[in-house]
């Protein structure tokens, strides 16, 4: 059996209403995507270079 406290639910609802909405940063996203892309390209060229060096 579930018991609820109405006062607690009202406090939770009031706390949720006061949370400020933050705008996501696009600059940070593009920097992260760029870093991941550079790591992928660097790994590709490194492995390709090692593969060609063994021939």
**In this predicted structure, what is the pLDDT of residue 2?**
61
Gyration radius from the chain CA atoms? 26
Q: What is the DSSP string of 22-51?
A: PPPPHHHHHHHHHHHHHHHHHHHHHHHHHH
pLDDT in tens, 1-55: 566 665 666 656 555 566 677 887 799 999 999 999 999 999 999 999 999 999 6
pTM exceeds 0.75? no
Please give the structure tokens belonging to residue 18. Answer: 């006061």
Please give the Cα distance from 46 to 39 (Å, whole number): 10
């Amino acid at each position: 059996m579930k018991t609820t406290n109405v006062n607690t639910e009202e406090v939770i609802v009031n706390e949720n209403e006061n949370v400020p909405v933050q705008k996501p940063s696009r600059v940070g996203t593009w920097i992260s995507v760029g870093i991941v892309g550079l790591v992928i390209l660097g790994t590709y060229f490194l492995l390709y270079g090692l593969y060609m060096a063994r021939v």
